[in-house]
Amino acid sequence: MSIMRRRLTCSRPAVLALAAVLAGAFVAEAQAPPPPIKKPKAPTPTPRAGARPQGQSSAPSATRATLLINADLNCTITIDGEARHRVPANKPTKVEVSAGEHLLVALSDDGRQLQQVVKAQGGGNTVVPLELLKLARPIDPKEFDRHAAALFTSISDLKVMGSFIDGLWKRSFFFHDRGITAAFHTAKQVLTRDLEEFQKYPAPDAARKKVSDELARLAPEGQKYVDLITQAITAAQSANSVIGEPTNQFGQAQAILATLNMPNDCKQTMKESADFTAALHPDARGRIGLPPDNRDVRLGADYAQSVPQMFAVIDKGGAADSMGFKPGDRIISADGRPLGSIWDLKLALRQAGRASVVYERNGKQEKKDVRFSAS
């Protein structure tokens, strides 16, 4: 028994050491990360017969095509939002593209825009017409007002010309002065041009729409007026007299002239626009009820902007009358400097107070020294 007890006593430390080793190994195994899971390798696909090796494009090279673009306005086009090309009006322009569909956007110089999809055929020309004139211009109040001012001026010019011809009608043989017919012809040309330009700009609001409607109504009536006046003058030339048919035609013309008036509410709309008033010539401000330009001088005379060098109206007792000018006189120069209008003469007189003026009367040039005092 004593021998057995001694053996167990001696072996206890060894047993405890062994137990500690086994416990440490167990804890280390529990804390170790799990081994990585190996995924099976995917098999490499067997290439199909006729297939291209990997890394090579399967698309064939793009076929080229030509667009033959014909625009009715000067414009700039973009294709697929990238390529830009300048296309002049009515001059077919070739543009190289790849075959297929493309998005084409055209922008005219005056702001009209057209967008369309075109299909370019490979191996030939694809004609692409761009009808930009059919499109309305973008609405711009400033442009509308500026062109309204021009048309208003050319219509109101006829009032000035009406006063001119009314003063001449009873003068003997005035109708043989071909300069008078030419002046009316020029007034009509300017009116027609201004009307055509004005019609390109839509009215941006209800008030301007009424102005637009009135100007569009008055302009053709003004054209009829000029036609009747020129017919009356021609008839007087043929008959060598204004008696009879010439006077009848003249009366019809003056009746139309009396109707060439803008309604007051339309005048007010135009007067409230800074762009309209800025576009008016300084000598046309009074026609719509605006105060005179601060550079203006009172000559007691009026003239048409379409025939700016000719005195159309001379007020009796006014400065121009005192200087000896008569209706129909055309100024040419002042102190050797060419004058383009009566307004230029006003500016010259305002600056110097006097001028040596060359003018034309009845086809002959004359010269006179004139003085002007603002007081």
Q: Is 112 contained in some domain?
A: yes
Residues 300 and 245 in one domain: no
- Render pLDDT for 287-333 as a digit per residue (tens, 0 to 9): 999 999 999 999 999 999 999 999 999 999 999 999 999 999 999 99
Residues 284 and 306 in one domain: no
**Last residue of some domain: 99, 130, 161?**
130
Q: Is 331 contained in some domain?
A: yes
Integer Cα distance of 357 and 350 in angstroms: 14
Q: Is 123 contained in some domain?
A: yes
In the numeric block, the tokens 């576009």 are attached to 279
Q: Is 110 contained in some domain?
A: yes
- Render pLDDT for 117-155 as a digit per residue (tens, 0 to 9): 999 988 789 999 999 998 877 778 999 999 999 999 999
Residues 106 and 177 in one domain: no
| CATH number of the domain within which 368 lies | 2.30.42.10
pLDDT in the model for residue 215: 97
| CATH number of the domain within which 114 lies | 2.60.40.1120
Integer Cα distance of 358 and 224 in angstroms: 35
What proportion of the chain, given as a percentage, has pLDDT over 90?
A: 72
pLDDT in the model for residue 178: 87
pLDDT in the model for residue 28: 47
Residues 319 and 271 in one domain: no
**Last residue of some domain: 274, 292, 310?**
292
User: How confident is residue 25, by pLDDT bands cut at 50, 70 and 90?
Assistant: very low
- Render pLDDT for 70-124 as a digit per residue (tens, 0 to 9): 999 999 999 998 889 999 999 999 999 999 999 999 999 888 899 999 999 887 8
Q: Is 40 contained in some domain?
A: no
- Render pLDDT for 222-275 as a digit per residue (tens, 0 to 9): 999 999 999 999 999 999 999 999 999 999 999 999 999 999 999 999 999 999
Residues 322 and 268 in one domain: no
Residues 181 and 71 in one domain: no
Residues 152 and 262 in one domain: yes
Residues 336 and 285 in one domain: no
Residues 84 and 180 in one domain: no
Residue 200 CA: distances (Å) to CA of 34, 135, 219: 82, 10, 15
> Residue 297 in contact with residue 375, Cβ under 8 Å?
no
Residues 160 and 254 in one domain: yes
User: How confident is residue 159, by pLDDT bands cut at 50, 70 and 90?
Assistant: very high
Tally of domains within the chain: 3
Which residue did the predictor score with more confidence, 171 or 186? 186
Residues 146 and 262 in one domain: yes
pLDDT in the model for residue 39: 53
Residues 324 and 220 in one domain: no
Q: Which domain holds residue 120?
A: 64-130
Whose CA is closest to 106, among 65, 146, 75?
A: 75
